[in-house]
């Protein structure tokens, strides 16, 4: 089961902030009154150390309040950073190979396409629209979890993908052969090709399997207003908008900007030798 960390953070911030406020408005007053009552009624002749210890005990915050005050600023800062600025994300599948590998940890720019409220995702400030060729994190229409793919089609575009060739609005997208490779699939390694594709101002790699046909019968899609057509760079091994349709603007999470760490699956140590900007 996937954990909604934004929701968890909001709840923790709310609980810690609520306890802090409750202490400020109600509980702290009772401690102050207890201290004042003791000062008025203390027995003469008590040693100073005894008085100081008693006063310290009476004014001491409950442990839960102490923890709430300590954690609140840290949790609030993490919530702000994660919700409005930068959020970390781990690549779980190979659909974006060769651009991104399984085990890559990336940074997602949360304000590139607008400022959104945490958890509910409502946009409150518009910043910019996704551009063709950018790598974007989003929630697909069929599943409530984060996906990452490349923006292929913009609102109103006609996207055609046929015989391993991409067309946008009737224009064939430039693709240059680089080399022959072996493509990892669920049934093992298959012969394939590595190419360089140009989408707008973005030049990025793609890979294809050197076999005819495929499981998809549909080849042409029209992108509705307020939606984006997403595809993986691992073109023959990616579940994307060709299967579950375009992504609504409301489900955009942010723009993937950089790989900051990599960890191979299993009991492997993370490495920082593959850090790079995402194109």
Q: Is residue 108 a contact partner of residue 83, using CB atoms and an 8 Å limit?
A: no
Q: Which of 199, 253, 246, 191 is nearest to 222 (CA)?
A: 246
Q: How far is CA 111 from the centre of its chain?
A: 12
Q: Is 149 a catalytic residue?
A: yes
Buried b (16+ CB within 10 A) or exposed e, 166-192: bebeeeebebeeeeebebbeeeeeeeb
Q: Is 263 a catalytic residue?
A: no
Q: Which of 83, 110, 149, 195 is catalytic?
A: 149
Q: Which of 83, 95, 238, 241 is catalytic?
A: 95
Q: Which of 201, 195, 206, 107 is nearest to 148 (CA)?
A: 107
Q: Is residue 155 a contact partner of residue 226, using CB atoms and an 8 Å limit?
A: yes
Tell me whether residue 235 is exposed, middle or buried, using C-beta atoms within 10 angstroms of its C-beta: 0 to 12, 13 to 18, 19 or more: buried
Q: Which residues are catalytic?
A: 95, 149
């Amino acid at each position: 089961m996937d954990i909604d960390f934004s929701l968890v953070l909001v709840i923790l911030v709310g609980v810690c902030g609520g306890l802090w406020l409750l202490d400020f408005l109600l509980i702290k007053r009772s401690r102050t009154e207890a201290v004042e009552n003791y000062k008025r009624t203390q027995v003469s002749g008590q040693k100073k150390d005894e008085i100081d210890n008693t006063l310290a005990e009476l004014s001491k915050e409950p442990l839960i309040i102490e923890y709430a005050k300590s954690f609140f600023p840290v949790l609030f800062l993490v919530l702000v950073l994660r919700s409005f600025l930068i959020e970390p994300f781990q690549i779980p599948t190979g659909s974006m190979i060769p651009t991104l590998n399984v085990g890559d940890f990336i940074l997602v720019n949360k304000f590139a396409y607008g400022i959104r409220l945490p958890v509910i995702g409502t946009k409150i400030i518009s910043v910019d629209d996704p551009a063709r060729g950018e790598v974007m994190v989003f929630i697909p229409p069929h599943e409530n979890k984060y996906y990452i793919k490349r923006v292929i089609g913009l609102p109103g575009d006609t996207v055609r993908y046929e015989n391993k060739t991409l067309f946008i609005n009737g224009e064939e997208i430039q693709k240059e052969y680089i080399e022959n490779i072996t493509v990892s699939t669920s049934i093992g390694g298959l012969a394939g090709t590595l190419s360089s594709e140009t989408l707008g101002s973005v030049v990025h790699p793609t890979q294809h399997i050197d076999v005819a046909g495929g499981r998809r019968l549909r080849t042409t899609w029209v992108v509705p207003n307020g939606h984006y057509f997403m595809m993986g760079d691992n073109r023959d091994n990616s579940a994307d908008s060709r299967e579950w349709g375009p992504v609504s603007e409301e489900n955009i999470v942010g723009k993937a900007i950089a790989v900051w760490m990599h960890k191979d699956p299993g009991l492997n140590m993370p490495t920082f030798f593959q850090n790079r900007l995402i194109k």
